[in-house]
Amino acid sequence: MLDYNDFAVGTCPNATTKTLTVTSEALAVSIGFDATIADGSGGLTFVKKFVVTVADAAGQAKADILITPSLDLVDYIKGMYTGPGAWALTPTSGQMCANEDINRNGVLETTEDFNNNGQLDPRKSDVLISVVGSNRTNSSGIVVLQIEYPKSVATWVDYKILVTASGVSGTEGRASVTKRLTADAGPSPRRPRRHSCQPLCTGTGAPVSYTPPGGTRSRCVPIRIEWHLPTDPRP
């Protein structure tokens, strides 16, 4: 038989004390960057770093969240730079051409080589992405990424970084950024150091390569000219 009679506060005969830990789940992931790039391997490449942050519903850093990055080359640019003075693309330059690898399978197919040069442009290996250190967020909720690319493709390729955070459900578990490969503002073979390119790291300064790997023509698809001989009027 149960006894429902009240008892004095603090005199519960079967009272126990437990410590509960309330955990908060990761809610959102973001990706950001600064305005700098650095020289990479042997001075032949540029390195650009990105920071990935993960927070919970209270805005507090979430540690030990697995971050998975991926990189897509969106398009490539055709043209050439002119200078000295303010380095700029020539009037007929700057044509953006979509990535020829339409299905992103890394295989050249009959309908994909739009510029008829026998390869896919841009090449997937033009830009590499990696994690600097651990791919799990530290106590500050941070993971650092970097991309590295040959200086010869700087300013000639647009790219998109996508990061996903494991355990983050909903729309905020993914973040992306789309940018153009930038060049530094250092000296070039045609310009002394005192005339360094401005503004810094925006892609508007003269790159190491004055003409892009994708060529200088203003069209993504070559113009096809067909010659038709007149019909012989004789029977």
Mean pLDDT by 10 residues, the chain (235 residues): 60 67 73 92 92 92 95 87 64 77 77 73 91 97 96 90 87 91 59 30 46 61 47 51
Q: Which residues contact 1 (CB under 8 A, 6 or more apart)?
A: none
Residue 29 class from Cβ within 10 Å (0-12 exposed, 13-18 middle, 19+ buried)? Answer: buried
Strand partners for 132: 144
Closest CA to 112 of 103, 121, 100, 122: 100
Closest CA to 82 of 194, 216, 227, 184: 216
Amino acid at 154: A
pLDDT at 95: 78
Indicate the pTM of the whole model.
0.71
Q: What is the pLDDT of residue 41?
A: 84
> Among 197, 185, 201, which residue's Cα sits nearest to residue 48?
201
Q: Are 127 and 71 in contact (CB under 8 A)?
A: yes
Neighbours of 150 (CB within 10 A): 19
What is the structure's pLDDT at 13? 67
User: Residue 191's pLDDT is what?
Assistant: 35
pLDDT of residue 198: 32
pLDDT at 19: 66
